[in-house]
């Protein structure tokens, strides 16, 4: 089907995250080269520092968060565009408040693995 | 630069369209596999029926429009997800009103050409 509303698509919990769900908007069975997903993080939720084997191209839809990419810490909000190269450690922490942090994340159709980064004690 | 706001990026007129501008949010010089763009169509503006040589993965950010994809006509609004396979004729007409029609459009980093479809007299 060519058109559907994101709210009608299933969401799965992201096990490595906290209060974080992911929806596949356009998956590999439809798009031959890359997949479009939507992440929804509850206020105060997020993902710990990790790497992926594929790059992320992201667009923030709603809410705000602290995002670490490599050595830099950014505060992002709706309309921000975020590029995370493959292999670069990154994390997310959604701001506290009433609004979830939502963003589009596009990845190539290639095998990926998430590796958590040990931050010591 | 890993993070920037979409509003700070340049917009170019889409010559085949009417009241239509395009911003490259993440281009091929940064993302190795696909490019993220944002289209902004004034109320009543849009693009005539055409084909592209690459697929489009889209997410509607704001406003609403009539979108034809092949033989089907859809009315799309914020939060709708649109997939347009390579080679399928499609057009856009933004609804009249106060709000522009805005959407994210991701394409693979491959050569593309736009072919207008002759709809006769």
Cβ–Cβ under 8 Å, residues B107 and A33:
no
The confidence band for B121, taking pLDDT boundaries of 50, 70 and 90, is: low
Q: Which of B57, B78, B30 is nearest to A81 (CA)?
A: B30
Q: What is the largest CA-CA distance in chain B?
A: 49
CB contact under 8 A, A9 and B81: yes
User: Are A81 and B32 an interchain contact pair (Cβ–Cβ within 8 Å)?
Assistant: no
The residue assigned the tokens 């501008």 is: B21
Q: What angle do CA A119, A114, A41 make, to 5 degrees?
A: 85
Q: Give the residue carrying structure tokens 């040589």.
A: B53
Cβ contact, residue pair B26, A83, below 8 Å: yes
B64-A56-A24 Cα angle (round to 5): 55
Least CB-CB distance to A34: which of B30, B33, B76? B33
Q: Which residues contact B100 (CB under 8 A, 6 or more apart)?
A: B40, B41, B42, B43, B62, B63, B94
Residue ranges of B 49-78 with Cβ closer than 8 A to chain A = 55, 57, 59, 61, 67, 69-70, 72, 74, 76
Residue A1 has pLDDT above 90, yes or no: no
Instruction: Give B69's Cβ-side CA count (13 Å radius).
Output: 17
Q: Mean pLDDT across the stretch B2-13?
A: 96
Tell me which residue has tokens 């990419």: A69
The pLDDT mean for chain A works out to 96
Count the helices and strands in chain A (H runs, E runs): 0, 11
Q: What is the pTM of this model?
A: 0.96
A32 in contact with B, Cβ within 8 Å: yes
> How many CB pairs below 8 Å do chains A and B form together?
106
Give the per-residue pLDDT at B60: 98
pLDDT tens string B22-60: 999 999 999 999 999 999 999 999 999 999 999 999 999
The structural domains of chain B, ordered by start, are: 17-109 (2.60.120.10)
User: What per-residue confidence (pLDDT) applies to B118?
Assistant: 78
Report whether B39 contacts B99 (CB < 8 A): no
């Amino acid at each position: 089907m060519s058109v559907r509303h994101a709210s009608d698509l299933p969401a799965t919990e992201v096990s490595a995250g906290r209060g974080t769900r992911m929806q596949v908007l356009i998956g590999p069975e439809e798009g031959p080269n890359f997949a479009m997903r939507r992440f929804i993080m509850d206020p105060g939720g997020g993902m710990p520092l990790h790497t992926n084997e594929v790059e992320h191209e992201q667009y923030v839809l709603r809410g705000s968060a602290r995002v670490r990419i490599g050595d830099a810490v950014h505060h992002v909000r709706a309309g921000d565009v975020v590029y995370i190269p493959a292999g670069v450690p990154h994390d997310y922490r959604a701001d506290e408040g009433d609004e979830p942090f939502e963003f589009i994340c596009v990845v190539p159709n290639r095998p990926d693995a998430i590796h958590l980064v040990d931050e010591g004690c």
